[in-house]
């Protein structure tokens, strides 16, 4: 049995694929299914360690990109898309998987195109409130479509909607359960001081980083801060924070990290009182941890989906939104104080996160993929 995973080269596409791969392995072991082979086809490995740990074979394919804004590159990339699609047909014919699972993004298009040509079943998952072009196109011939947001349903063609299921977002098994024991000692945190967790994605978020750094003198008076800066940002942020905090007696309350690995993220989630984040797939992780949040979406001219994601999540009462154009150190600090200083508001936000917890998302999708695979094998 061969299952091929595909998706765009971002963590929002890649890590949900890993979550589904984990569930496939679990079910295969429970049902005593042998010879389940997993493959990942994209433009890059993204996280080679994760592929190795889950015994997923990488197949490289190249393609071009269709941008959401006017650019000469959109025209220049057309031959790359065509060539990548032709290559994908030959690669899929050689492998001939039983099912293709697509998370969308431009690297997924050649793969789903090849699957359609070869009549290989396709299952699609959409993470955002506004589906990507690749997923909308693939949904027209996909066997099943899963969505993370219920509002995404109406964005798909009407004839597709009958095969759409609201599953939520697949989250890796380890991230489902925060670690609470020994966290203060491990992360060198003070007891009984509220903790802020700042996430800007694996690459960090420049606007969030800048607002936070300039608000540090105010924030460290009351809070401890775990800050994922992004690899390239760590050294300059450490240097700037050192200058800004100067001789502050609370300067050690600021804890910058280039990247939080799985264990560190689980610990941070286990101790955080409030999360400040972008509006990607991290929303579902934050909700699963039952932590109120401040969401700062990427501006709409850069990402058309994050702003919609942010306000849709905020409507549940789980989060407050600060648009990037309004993000200043004072606004950030006052919004943090407003949430953490009002126990009634805080508890209501925490309770509201229940509507966005989908611990079975990975298993539901994995079950469908295995069902289709077994049918295709026969």
Average pLDDT per consecutive 10 residues, the chain (378 residues; last block may be shorter): 91 93 96 92 94 96 73 73 94 97 94 97 95 94 97 95 97 93 94 94 75 96 95 91 94 94 94 95 94 93 83 96 95 97 97 94 97 84
Contact 295, 281 (CB under 8 A): no
pTM for the model stands at 0.90
Contact 31, 66 (CB under 8 A): no
* Predicted confidence (pLDDT) per residue in 226-285, tens digit: 999 988 889 999 999 999 999 999 999 999 999 898 999 999 999 999 999 999 889 999
DSSP state, 305?
Answer: T
Tell me the C-alpha distance between 139 and 64, whole Å.
Answer: 20
Using DSSP, state whether 129 is helix, strand or coil.
coil
At residue 204, the pLDDT reads 54
At residue 12, the pLDDT reads 84
Q: Who's near 260: CB < 8 A, 6+ residues apart?
A: 199, 226, 228, 268
List, in sequence order, the alpha helices (H) in the chain: 11-30, 48-53, 72-76, 78-95, 108-117, 133-139, 173-176, 183-186, 206-219, 234-245, 262-271, 282-288, 306-314, 329-340, 343-352, 361-377
Specify the CATH architecture of the domain 175-356: 3-Layer(aba) Sandwich (3.40)
Phi, psi of 185 (to 5 degrees): -70, -45
At residue 73, the pLDDT reads 64
Contact 276, 196 (CB under 8 A): yes
Contact 340, 274 (CB under 8 A): yes
CATH of domain 2-170+359-377: 3.40.50.2000
Tell me the C-alpha distance between 271 and 251, whole Å.
Answer: 19
At residue 34, the pLDDT reads 81
Question: Which residue ranges does the chain devote to CATH 3.40.50.2000?
Answer: 2-170+359-377, 175-356
User: Tokens 């995973």 belong to which residue?
Assistant: 5
**Helix and strand numbers, DSSP H then E, in the chain:** 16, 13
Phi, psi of 367 (to 5 degrees): -60, -40
Q: What distances in angstroms separate CA 59 from CA 80, 87, 111, one per listed residue?
A: 17, 11, 11
* Predicted confidence (pLDDT) per residue in 127-144, tens digit: 999 999 999 999 999 999
Please calculate the CA angle 179-180-184 and round it to the nearest 5 degrees: 115
Tell me the C-alpha distance between 193 and 226, whole Å.
Answer: 13
User: Tokens 């994922």 belong to which residue?
Assistant: 228
Using DSSP, state whether 6 is helix, strand or coil.
strand
At residue 71, the pLDDT reads 66
């Amino acid at each position: 049995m061969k299952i091929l995973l595909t998706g765009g080269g971002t963590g929002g596409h890649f890590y949900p694929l890993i979550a589904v791969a984990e569930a496939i392995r679990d079910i295969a072991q429970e049902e005593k299914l042998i010879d389940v082979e997993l493959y990942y086809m994209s433009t890059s490995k993204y996280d080679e360690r994760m592929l190795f740990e889950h015994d997923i074979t990488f197949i490289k394919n190249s393609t071009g990109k269709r941008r959401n804004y006017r650019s000469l590159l959109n025209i220049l990339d057309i031959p790359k898309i065509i060539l990548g699609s032709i290559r994908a047909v030959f690669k899929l014919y050689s492998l001939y998987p039983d099912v293709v699972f697509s998370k969308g993004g431009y690297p997924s298009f050649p793969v789903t195109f090849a699957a359609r040509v070869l009549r290989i079943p396709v299952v699609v998952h959409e993470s955002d409130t506004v589906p990507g072009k690749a997923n909308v196109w693939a949904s027209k011939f996909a066997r099943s479509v899963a969505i993370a947001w219920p509002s995404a349903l109406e964005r798909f063609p009407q004839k597709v909607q009958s095969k759409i299921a609201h599953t939520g977002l697949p989250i890796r098994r380890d991230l489902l359960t925060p670690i609470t024991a020994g966290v203060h000692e491990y992360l060198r945190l003070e007891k009984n001081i509220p903790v802020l967790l700042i996430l800007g994605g694996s690459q960090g978020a420049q606007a969030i980083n800048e607002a936070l750094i300039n608000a540090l003198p105010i924030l460290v008076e009351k809070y401890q801060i775990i800050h994922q800066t992004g690899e390239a940002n760590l050294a300059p942020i450490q240097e700037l924070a050192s200058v800004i905090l100067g001789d502050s007696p609370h300067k050690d309350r600021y804890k910058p990290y280039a990247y939080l690995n799985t264990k560190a993220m689980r610990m941070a989630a286990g101790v955080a009182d409030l999360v400040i984040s972008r509006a990607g797939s991290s929303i579902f992780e934050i909700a699963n941890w039952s932590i109120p949040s401040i969401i700062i979406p990427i501006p709409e001219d850069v990402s058309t989906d994050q702003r919609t994601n942010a306000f849709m999540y905020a409507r549940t009462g789980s989060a407050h939104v600060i648009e990037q154009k309004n993000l200043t150190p004072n606004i950030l600090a006052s919004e943090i104080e407003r949430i953490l200083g009002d126990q009634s508001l805080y508890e209501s936000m925490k309770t509201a996160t229940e509507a966005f917890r989908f611990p079975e998302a990975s298993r539901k999708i994995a079950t469908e993929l295995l069902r289709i695979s077994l049918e295709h094998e026969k």
